[in-house]
């Protein structure tokens, strides 16, 4: 059975977590509201609002501010997220091998950032140890007092059990699973969450970006690979083992003519519609032969330029990309009834050049009843999505309670 959240990882049961986050999201949207406003904004009862807000005040996550008196009667009391409260640390290991770290307050305001190259190591354990070293160094360099840090969230491009923080697989490093969250918690003596980059991105869009108004939606991202993550009932949804589904490795082509994918299989949708799938040659999928990402970016920009100028080969490649993207989105609509689907693309030209075949395949393959009730939209991936996603991961975990923190010695 799929789990929306994990009690051990958040400190709250799913229903309690949803009510807590519903209150905090209302406060983020409206900035300064009273307890009396919250039932109408969240659909929660007055009793539940009182219990949740009292807990959040006691934990130093929100504050009560009394309005200046303007006449008779008791001045109104407003609730606000406490910008002077705890700090959270969000970190992300990028596809370019760079550890990007952001320290933010509870409102999401950036306080300090750091970027550090992480070289490739022969084993995942060595890789994990270097991440521990660099995060420790970033905390020291930031001059932020460690006891004010409420939570550390780390996102990595890997197959991760987000309940336990165990990294099971990373493309460029062959190794046994590594308990990265435990390693970091022991090293930093702080609560730590580790999860997949896609799940981090979907949190960022839900808290800060284009999905703030959606509690039920799926986010597809066309990047170097095709990735996706999902929210249901206002909470991220992962699989039975804590994994974020790898939609990019679902098959949209079969047989010996299907394109090879870096995972070793044939016909993966990423091989047809992702950046790398469009511009990399099959022999380059091997980790030892991967071209620099700058080269991949240059090829992709040239492909879009050529398509805009009417070059048949480029137009055909993007037509095929739209076809396969439409197939996988239709399959998801039929299988998940997601409510809304947001597709993030790296360049607006990608959307324009793939839209016709995307829409044709979506219309042909999705069941009409599902499609009529699913809102499908496109957006361009924002340049600052990394820190938004990192901050959202750490903020959400801080709001919901401690996770993966070692016992005091």
Q: What is the DSSP string of 190-226?
A: S-EEEEEHHHHHHHHHHHTSTTTT-SSEEEEEESSSE
**What pLDDT score was predicted for residue 266?**
93
Catalogue the long-range contacts made by 345-349 (C-beta closer than 8 Å, 24 or more residues apart): 345/222, 345/378, 345/379, 345/380, 345/381, 346/222, 346/223, 346/275, 346/300, 346/380, 346/381, 347/300, 347/304, 347/380, 348/380, 349/304, 349/307, 349/308
Residue 25: inside a domain: yes
How much is the pLDDT for 237? 87
Residue 409 lies in a domain: no
Q: Judge if 228 and 373 occupy the same domain.
A: yes
What are the pLDDT tens digits along the chain (409 aa)? 233 233 334 456 667 888 888 888 888 777 678 888 899 988 899 999 999 999 888 888 888 887 765 556 566 788 988 888 889 898 988 877 889 998 988 888 889 999 999 887 778 888 889 989 999 999 999 989 988 998 898 988 888 998 899 998 876 666 788 999 999 999 999 999 998 888 888 888 888 888 888 889 999 999 999 999 999 888 888 888 888 888 999 999 999 899 998 888 999 999 999 999 999 987 787 666 778 889 999 999 999 999 999 999 999 999 999 999 999 999 999 999 999 999 999 999 999 999 999 999 999 999 999 999 999 999 988 777 767 777 787 778 888 875 444 344 3
Q: Please tell me whether residues 241 and 164 are part of one structural domain.
A: no
Among 25, 57, 81, the domain boundary falls at 81
Same domain membership, residue 245 and residue 357: yes
Coil/strand/helix, residue 259: coil
Domain residues for the domain of 74 are 7-81
* Any domain includes 405: no
Instruction: Give the C-alpha distances (Å, rounded to integers) separating 369 from 182, 227, 327, 337, 358.
Output: 46, 26, 17, 10, 19
Q: How many whole angstroms separate alpha carbon 86 and alpha carbon 194?
A: 20
Mean pLDDT of the chain: 86
Please indicate, yes or no, whether residues 264 and 244 belong to a single structural domain of this protein: yes
Task: Give residue 185's pLDDT.
Answer: 92
219 plus 359 within the same structural domain: yes
- Asked whether the beta carbons of 269 and 247 are under 8 A apart, the reply is yes
Report the C-alpha gap between 252 and 270 in whole angstroms.
Answer: 9
Kindly tell me the burial class for residue 46, based on how many C-beta atoms sit within 10 Å of its own C-beta (0-12, 13-18, 19 or more): exposed
Together in a domain, 108 and 196 = yes
Show the tokens assigned to 290: 């991967």
Q: List 294's β-bridge partners, or say none.
A: none
- Phi, psi dihedral angles at 110 (to 5 degrees): -75, 130
Same structural domain, 171 and 74: no
pLDDT tens, position by position, 305-319: 999 999 999 999 999
Whether the CB-CB separation of 353 and 318 falls below 8 Å is answered with yes
Q: Strand, coil or helix: what is 155? A: strand
The pLDDT score that the predictor gives to residue 71 is: 56
- What's the CA gap between 83 and 61, in Å, rounded? 8
Residues 6+ apart with CB under 8 A from 214: 206, 231, 339, 340, 342
Full-model pTM? 0.83
Q: Is 306 helix (H, G, I), strand (E, B) or coil?
A: helix
Q: What is the CATH number of the domain that holds 36?
A: 1.10.10.10
Quick one: how far is CA 68 from the chain centroid? 40
Alpha-carbon torsion (172, 157, 254, 274), positive or negative: negative
- How many CB atoms neighbour CB 404 within 10 A? 24
What SS3 class is residue 182? helix
User: What 8-state DSSP symbol labels residue 63?
Assistant: E
Residue 257 token pair: 């003519």
**Same domain for 173 and 316?**
no
Asked whether residue 343 falls in the same domain as residue 247, the answer is yes
322 within a domain of the structure (yes/no): yes
Model pLDDT, residue 125: 85
* Cα gap 314→349, rounded to integer Å: 12
Residue 220 lies in a domain: yes
Host H or E run for residue 187 = helix 180-188
Whose structure tokens read 């705890």? Answer: 86
pLDDT tens sequence across 114-130: 999 988 777 888 888 99
* 152 within domain boundaries: yes
Domain presence at residue 406: no
165 and 250 share one domain? no
338 in the same domain as 245: yes
Total number of domains in the chain = 3
Are 30 and 99 within one domain?
A: no
**Is residue 360 situated within a structural domain?**
yes
């Amino acid at each position: 059975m799929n789990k929306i959240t994990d009690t051990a990882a958040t400190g709250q049961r799913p229903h309690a977590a949803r009510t807590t986050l519903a209150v905090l999201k209302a406060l983020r949207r409206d900035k300064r509201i009273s307890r009396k406003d919250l039932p109408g904004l969240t659909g929660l009862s007055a009793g539940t609002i009182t219990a949740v807000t009292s807990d959040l005040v006691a934990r130093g996550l929100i504050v009560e501010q009394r309005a200046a008196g303007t006449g008779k009667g008791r001045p109104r009391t407003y609730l606000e997220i406490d910008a002077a409260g705890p700090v959270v640390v969000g970190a992300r290991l990028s596809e370019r091998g760079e550890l990007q770290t952001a320290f933010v307050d509870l409102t999401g305001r950036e306080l300090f950032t750091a970027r550090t190259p992480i070289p490739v190591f022969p084993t995942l354990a060595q890789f994990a140890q270097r991440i521990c070293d660099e995060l420790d160094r970033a905390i020291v360099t930031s001059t932020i007092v460690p006891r004010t840090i409420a939570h550390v969230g780390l996102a990595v491009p890997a197959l991760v059990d987000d309940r336990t923080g165990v990294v099971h697989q990373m493309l460029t490093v062959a190794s046994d699973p590594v308990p990265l969250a435990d390693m970091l918690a022991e090293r930093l003596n702080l609560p730590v969450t580790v999860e997949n980059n896609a799940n981090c991105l979907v949190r960022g869009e839900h808290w800060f970006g284009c999905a703030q108004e959606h509690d039920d939606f799926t986010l597809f991202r066309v990047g170097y690979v095709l990735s996706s993550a999902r929210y249901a009932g206002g909470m991220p949804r992962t699989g039975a083992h804590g994994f974020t589904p790898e939609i990019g490795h679902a098959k949209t082509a079969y047989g010996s003519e299907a394109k090879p994918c870096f995972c070793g299989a044939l016909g993966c949708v990423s091989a047809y519609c992702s950046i790398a799938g469009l511009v990399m040659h099959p022999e380059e999928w091997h980790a030892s032969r991967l071209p620099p990402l700058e080269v991949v970016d240059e090829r992709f920009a040239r492909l879009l330029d050529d398509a805009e100028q009417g070059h048949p080969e480029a137009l055909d490649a993007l037509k095929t990309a739209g076809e396969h993207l439409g197939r996988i989105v239709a399959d998801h609509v039929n299988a998940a009834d997601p409510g809304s689907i947001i597709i993030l693309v790296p360049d607006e030209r990608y959307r324009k050049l793939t839209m016709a075949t995307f829409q044709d395949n979506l219309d042909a393959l999705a069941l009409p009843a599902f499609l009529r009730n699913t809102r499908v939209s496109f957006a361009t991936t924002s340049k600052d999505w990394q820190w938004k996603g990192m901050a959202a991961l750490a903020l959400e975990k801080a709001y919901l309670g401690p996770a993966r923190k070692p016992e005091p010695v």
